[in-house]
Each structure stands twice: as C-alpha cells, then as structure tokens.
C-alpha cells in the first residue's frame, strides 16, 4: 500500500538542495492512498507537509512530521468541442510535461508557462505565471481533499480567489487542503500571446511571420535558459520575492529620485515594481555571503552556491529584504514557502 520511511533526507526533494530531515516520509500515487493514509491511527496528530517538486520551498530546519510526496499521475482529455478541450491532470504530473503534452497536440494556453519547475498540483497554489500568462487564464477547476476530515471538494475558478502569485490555497487553506487533480481549458485554435516584450522581441528577431505555440514555447525555453540558473547546477527556487505592488503615490515619489524606475500599471491605484530592479539598485545583484548569494543575472533569485543551509539562505533573503526596506521603504514579500 504505502511505505512510511523514517528520518529521510529532503535534500534530493528541494531545488535549493539544502539539507533537512523529515521525521517520516511517504510517497503516494492516488487520492485513495492519501485517504487511507490519513486514517492510519499511528498518524493521528502528526504534522503533515505536502511536497511536489520542492521548487518553491525553503527548509530552514528539519521537519518534525510526515512529508507526503505527491506522485499522482495521469493526463487525459475529459471533454472536447470544436473550440476547446478540457484536460485533466493528476497533481503529481510534472508541470512541464503537461505543457509539452498540450503544445504537441496544438492545444493553446500554457505554452508561455514552459519550463516552470514543479508539479501540476502546486501550480494553482501561487497561480504560476510567466511571460505574460498565468494559470488562471486557462484554469477550469480542481479537486482535492481536506486534510482535517478527508472530505473531497471541487473548486471552480471563482472559489480559488486567484491573484498575483496567490490563491485561497496559499492563504486561508494553506496546509489544509491537498490538491489531487487539476482541470484546464485549452484552445484548439490557439491565440498567440506575445504581450511580454522580451518574448515578442525574441520571436520577431527570428523573423517568423506566423508563430505557432510550438515557436512560443521554444522561445520561452531559450529565454529562461539564458536568464535563470538551472537548479540542477545551482540550487535556487526561482524568484525569492514577489514583485512589489505599491500605491501610485509611491511611484510618483520614487521617480523623482530614480528617473530610470521600472514599473507597470496594475490598475488606477496600484503599480508593480520588479523586485529584481529594487535589489539590483541596492547594489545587491551578484551579492556573496558564505555559500549563498543573489544570482549574477537576476538579483531576485537567491542561490545556494554549494553546501549552504536553509538558515543561511533565509538570512541572506532577510538581509536583502531589510536593505530594500531601508533604501526604498518597500516591504518585499517572499514568494517561496518557508518551513
Ligand atoms: C528555476 C525556477 C524558476 C521558477 N520560475 C517560476 C515562474 O516563472 N513562475 C512561477 O509562478 N513560479 C516559478 N517558480 C516557482 C515554482 O516552480 C512554482 O511555484 C511551482 O508551482 C512549485 O511546484 P512544486 O511542485 O515544486 O511545489 P513545492 O515546492 O513542492 O510546494 C510549494 C507549496 O505548495 C504546497 N503543495 C505542493 N503540492 C501541493 C498539493 N498537491 N496540494 C496542496 N499543497 C501542495 C507545498 O506544501 C508548498 O507549500 C520557479 C522555480 C524555480 C526553481
């Protein structure tokens, strides 16, 4: 049925590649297995942590409970019309495998999200996004289980409270609900999304007259590989902080001091400033502290240069946060889940 292991290293299970031990560890491959597991008397009162690919998590200490590694697989088309398909994927499917599955079948909507590490089940948690697209754009529904009473529930899009790198699963339901299956609505007549300037420039440079979603995913892959460190070479979890959302009066104030300030309009009141720009402006791009630092090409990515502990990474992150607060008066919010 399932095999509960004891005192297991989590180093191979997190992309920061930091050492931390789980008191207990189990891998499950179906929702049924998860329900059976929770009914185990021996686990009553045990602290639980659901783990996907470990690409958005920082272990600052050992986990004194049960880590449940989600390996629920399966991709299927559950509905098809002339215009769209609904694809259902097990939460343990590798996100990038799902992207490739859809791109190969010319089903449009997630090609801009190519090469984001992690699992399908974690994608709704922070409403993954990149290169002008977000999961919410194609999200149909998800099913999962409440950890407290094993009750199953399907959430439609409105109920998920998706926001910028956020959802109800990262706020009110954090740690309380296990996502087992995700459904996406994909377009059979794909609309090409080149709203992100660097992507548009890259596609145009190649001189393709009518780019396909295959072209888009290939360009996203190339851009990402040239800008972001590959976790199998240098431990990292992508952007450590969310981009800063500030009131427009803050932008008015800062632009007087920094005429080169980069910002985007969210709505009439709120502006977004890239946190990488803020960190860079503090002179912290390529920062080095012991075995950790910020990446040379992208200041928003904190890296494990080899042998760093989770605490060291956390400390450098807090150092960066403090510096940005002192210089700009802006409070950075971590995107990474800190344990
Ligand atoms: C190099 C790199 C680049 C990245 N680029 C991007 C990017 O462009 N855009 C972006 O949005 N993110 C990006 N990320 C962050 C990360 O890939 C995503 O957040 C991804 O969705 C995390 O998936 P995971 O399976 O690894 O989650 P994990 O790290 O395993 O878990 C993250 C959180 O979700 C919870 N969780 C995981 N699975 C489930 C489940 N099935 N049910 C309930 N809770 C669950 C965990 O308990 C934890 O709190 C990047 C990361 C790296 C390393």
Exactly one of 134, 181, 312, 335 is catalytic; name it. Answer: 335
What number is the average pLDDT over the span 52-71?
96
Sequence-ordered alpha helix ranges (H) in the chain:
31-38, 95-104, 197-206, 213-227, 248-257, 275-281, 310-328
Compute the mean pLDDT over every residue in the chain, rounded to the nearest whole number.
Answer: 94
Query: Same domain, yes or no, for 40 and 103?
Result: no
- Cα separation of 50 and 302, whole Å? 23
Distance 54 CA to ligand 1 centre (A): 7
Quote the DSSP letter at residue 154.
Answer: E
205 is a domain residue: no
Among residues 25, 54, 70, the one where a domain terminates is 70
- Cα separation of 222 and 201, whole Å? 13
Q: Is the CB of 304 under 6 A from ligand 1?
A: no
Q: Is the CB of 92 under 6 A from ligand 1?
A: no
> Distances from the Cα of 197 to the Cαs of 130, 194, 204, 281, in angstroms?
12, 7, 10, 22
Q: What is the pLDDT, as a whole number, of residue 45?
A: 85
Distance 43 CA to ligand 1 centre (A): 26
Q: Report phi then psi at 71, rounded to 5.
A: -125, 40
Tell which one of 98, 114, 116 to mutate to probe ligand 1, the residue whose CB is within 8 A of the most ligand atoms: 116
Distance 252 CA to ligand 1 centre (A): 34
Query: Same domain, yes or no, for 160 and 243?
Result: no
Q: What is the pLDDT, as a whole number, of residue 3?
A: 87
Q: Is 335 a catalytic residue?
A: yes
- Cα separation of 95 and 72, whole Å? 12
Total domain count, the chain: 3
Exactly one of 167, 202, 239, 275 is catalytic; name it. Answer: 239
pLDDT at 87 over 90: yes
The 10s digit of each residue's pLDDT in 118-131 is: 999 999 999 999 99
Look-up of token digits 């509960």: 4
198 is a domain residue: no
The 10s digit of each residue's pLDDT in 232-289 is: 999 999 999 999 999 999 999 999 999 999 998 888 899 999 999 999 999 999 999 9
Query: Same domain, yes or no, for 110 and 160?
Result: yes
Query: Same domain, yes or no, for 105 and 160?
Result: yes
- Cβ atoms of 95 and 77 within 8 Å: the answer is no
CATH number at residue 245: 3.90.78.10
Residue nearest to atom 12 of ligand 1 (CA): 128
212 is a domain residue: no
Q: What residues make up the domain containing 94?
A: 75-187
224 is a domain residue: no
CATH number at residue 66: 3.30.43.10
- Cα separation of 130 and 111, whole Å? 10
Query: Same domain, yes or no, for 87 and 55?
Result: no
- Cβ atoms of 55 and 231 within 8 Å: the answer is yes
Query: Same domain, yes or no, for 79 and 181?
Result: yes
Q: Report phi then psi at 89, rounded to 5.
A: -130, 140
Quote the DSSP letter at residue 227.
Answer: H
Contacts by residues 282-290 (CB-CB < 8 Å, ≥ 24 positions apart): 282/320, 282/323, 282/324, 282/327, 284/320, 284/323, 287/316, 287/320, 289/315, 289/316, 289/319
Query: Same domain, yes or no, for 122 and 162?
Result: yes
Query: Same domain, yes or no, for 250 and 334?
Result: yes
Q: How many CB atoms lie within 10 A of CB 330?
A: 17
Query: Same domain, yes or no, for 160 and 117?
Result: yes
Query: Same domain, yes or no, for 51 and 90?
Result: no
- For the chain, where are the E strands, in sequence order? 5-9, 21-28, 48-51, 57-58, 63-70, 75-80, 84-90, 129-130, 133-134, 139-146, 152-156, 177-187, 235-239, 244-247, 264-265, 270-273, 288-289, 292-294, 301-304, 337-338
Among residues 45, 70, 95, the one where a domain terminates is 70
Q: What is the pLDDT, as a whole number, of residue 148?
A: 86
What number is the average pLDDT over the span 167-173?
96
pLDDT at 318 over 90: yes
Quote the DSSP letter at residue 334.
Answer: B
219 is a domain residue: no
220 is a domain residue: no
- Supply 249's token pair: 């009066």
The more confidently predicted of residues 120 and 44 is 120
Distance 127 CA to ligand 1 centre (A): 10
CATH number at residue 122: 3.30.465.10
Among residues 44, 70, 96, the one where a domain terminates is 70
192 is a domain residue: no
Residue nearest to atom 2 of ligand 1 (CA): 238
For the chain, percent of residues with pLDDT exceeding 70: 100
Atom of ligand 1 nearest to the CA of 237: 53
Query: Same domain, yes or no, for 239 and 332?
Result: yes
- Cα separation of 317 and 85, whole Å? 42
């Amino acid at each position: 049925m399932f095999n509960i292991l004891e005192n297991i290293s989590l180093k191979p299970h997190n992309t920061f590649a930091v050492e931390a031990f789980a008191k207990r560890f189990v891998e499950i491959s179906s929702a049924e297995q998860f329900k059976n597991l929770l009914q185990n008397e021996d686990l009553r009162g045990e602290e639980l942590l659901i783990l996907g690919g470990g690409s958005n998590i920082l272990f600052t200490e050992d986990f004194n409970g049960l880590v449940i590694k989600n390996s629920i697989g399966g991709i299927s088309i559950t509905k098809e019309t002339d215009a769209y398909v609904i694809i259902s994927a097990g939460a343990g499917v590798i996100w990038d495998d799902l992207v490739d599955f859809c791109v190969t079948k010319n089903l449009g909507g997630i090609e801009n999200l190519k090469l984001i590490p992690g699992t399908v089940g974690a994608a709704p948690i922070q409403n993954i996004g990149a290169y002008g697209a977000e999961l919410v754009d194609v999200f149909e529904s998800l099913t999962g289980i409440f950890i407290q009473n094993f009750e199953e529930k399907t959430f439609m899009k409105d109920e998920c409270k998706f926001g910028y790198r956020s959802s109800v699963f990262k706020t009110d339901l954090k740690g309380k609900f296990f996502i087992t299956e995700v459904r996406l609505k994909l377009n059979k007549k794909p609309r090409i999304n080149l709203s992100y300037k660097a992507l548009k420039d890259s596609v145009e440079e190649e001189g393709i007259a009518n780019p396909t979603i295959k072209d888009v995913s290939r360009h996203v892959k190339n851009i990402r590989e040239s800008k972001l460190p590959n976790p199998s070479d240098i431990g990292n979890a992508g952007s450590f902080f969310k981009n800063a959302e500030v009131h427009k009066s803050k932008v008015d104030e800062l632009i007087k001091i920094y005429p080169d300030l980069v910002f985007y309009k969210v709505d009439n009141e709120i502006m977004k400033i890239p946190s990488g720009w803020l960190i860079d402006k503090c002179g912290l791009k390529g920062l080095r502290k012991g075995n950790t630092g910020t990446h040379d090409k992208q200041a928003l990515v904190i890296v494990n240069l080899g042998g760093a502990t989770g605490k060291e990474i956390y400390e450098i992150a807090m150092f960066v946060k403090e510096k940005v607060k002192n210089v700009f008066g802006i409070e950075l919010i971590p995107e990474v889940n800190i344990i």
